[in-house]
Amino acid sequence: MTPNAGAELGGRLAAGDLSAAPDALNLLESSAAADQPERVSLLAATSPAALGHEPAGHVVGITGPPGVGKSTLISALCKALREQGRTVAVVAVDPSSKRSGGALLGDRARISFDPADDGLLIRSMAAGDRLGGLARPTRDAAAALSAAYDVVVVETVGVGQSETEVAEVADTVCVVVQPGSGDTLQFIKSGIMEIPDVLVVTKSDLGVIAQRARRDLNSALRSLGARDTKVVAVSALPPASGISELLAAVEAHHASCDLAAERSSRRRSQALAEFGELFGRRGLDALGGRRAALKTVAELDSGLDVPGLVAALVVSAKLN
């Protein structure tokens, strides 16, 4: 990677140049130590501090068990969004190949799209050894792409209850449930029911079974006090149904959020976690303990990206 390549790519994304996205993602996925400064420069160029505002792109997380129909649903969502004239980037996290380390399934094969459509980007990322449903570069990719695209969709690997990390990345989280599969009962039992902003029942064409799943989920949400969480039934099979209702629910949630505050909080939490991974207990002690560390990170510039926040914590802890 040439010097200043990261800043150049970030600047192009910030200017809305979608052709910079593939090279930007290559850089963000690179594990080469020599590329680290350029990755930091790219993220800095697409940060709120550089832009003067939060990136305008709406980051939507799609999560749920394997085989529930996430990719088919995303195909229908992308089609509807492109018909509205909105640009879309899809970051799909797939299981890793043990041999190559790359994405095993490759969502280019599972999500329907027009290769000639310059307003739609689909990228698979390997989950690696990471739990939580997300690959290591996923957060960085979502942050950078949201500076250029109208909508950024993050699809998790599909490993069940461990997928709650998507809530740390997405502005709006959609949890997908398949009727008649036992998913409803499992979600009621698990912590994943606490993260959705929208619940999506797929295969609504199944009729009574799908409606029963929708009622069960509404009952579960009421028992949790989550009365504002919308439950939408969709069918992605032609002719698709419920997609407009789903988009309306996603947009309604987005409009109701204090986006700047929520994104800033997520960046600070991630920065503190990365600082802890780098320096462990020694780093927290240097900041005066966890409570003092939380206070320190809360007082930092809210427009900084995660690497900038980590660097500021290093300075505060006098570890540089």
Q: What is the pLDDT of residues 206-217, one digit of tens each?
A: 788 888 888 888
Residue predicted with more confidence, 305 or 195? 305
pLDDT of residue 237: 77
Angle between the N-to-C axes of helices 5-14 and 138-145, in degrees from 0 to 180, rounded to the nearest 10: 50
For 209, the token pair is 């079974």
pLDDT of residue 183: 57
Give the pLDDT band of residue 104 (cuts 50, 70, 90): very low
pLDDT over 70, % of the chain: 83
DSSP-derived secondary structure letter, 87:
-
From the list 170, 161, 177, the residue with the least C-alpha distance to 216 is 177
Give the three-class secondary structure for 298. helix
Count helices and strands (H / E) in the chain.
Answer: 12, 7
pLDDT at 98 > cutoff 60? no
pLDDT over 90, % of the chain: 57
pLDDT of residue 156: 85
The model's pLDDT over 239-287, given as tens digits with 9 standing for 90+, comes to 788 999 999 999 999 999 999 999 999 999 999 999 999 999 999 999 9
Domain borders along the chain are 1-53, 55-256, 260-316
CATH number (3.40.50.300, 3.40.50.720, 3.40.50.620, 3.90.1170.50) of 55-256 reads 3.40.50.300
Q: What angle do CA 247, 253, 256 make, to 5 degrees?
A: 140
pLDDT of residue 310: 95
pLDDT at 161 > cutoff 50? no
Question: In angstroms, how far is the first alpha carbon of the chain from the final one?
Answer: 26
Q: Which of 69-73, 81-85, 152-156 has the lowest mean pLDDT?
A: 69-73
Give the three-class secondary structure for 207. coil
Mean local confidence (pLDDT), 92-109: 53
How many CB atoms within 10 Å of residue 255? 9
Q: How far apart are CA 45 and CA 194, in angstroms?
A: 34
pLDDT of residue 226: 61
Give the pLDDT band of residue 101 (cuts 50, 70, 90): very low
The model's pLDDT over 126-138, given as tens digits with 9 standing for 90+, comes to 765 544 446 578 9
From the list 265, 309, 259, 303, the residue with the least C-alpha distance to 287 is 309
pLDDT at 96 > cutoff 60? no
Do 137 and 28 contact (CB within 8 A), yes or no?
yes
Report pTM: 0.89
pLDDT of residue 107: 46
Q: Which of 14-18, 185-189, 266-270 has the lowest mean pLDDT?
A: 185-189
**Alpha-carbon torsion (107, 110, 115, 120), positive or negative:** negative
Helix (H) or strand (E) holding 173: strand 172-177
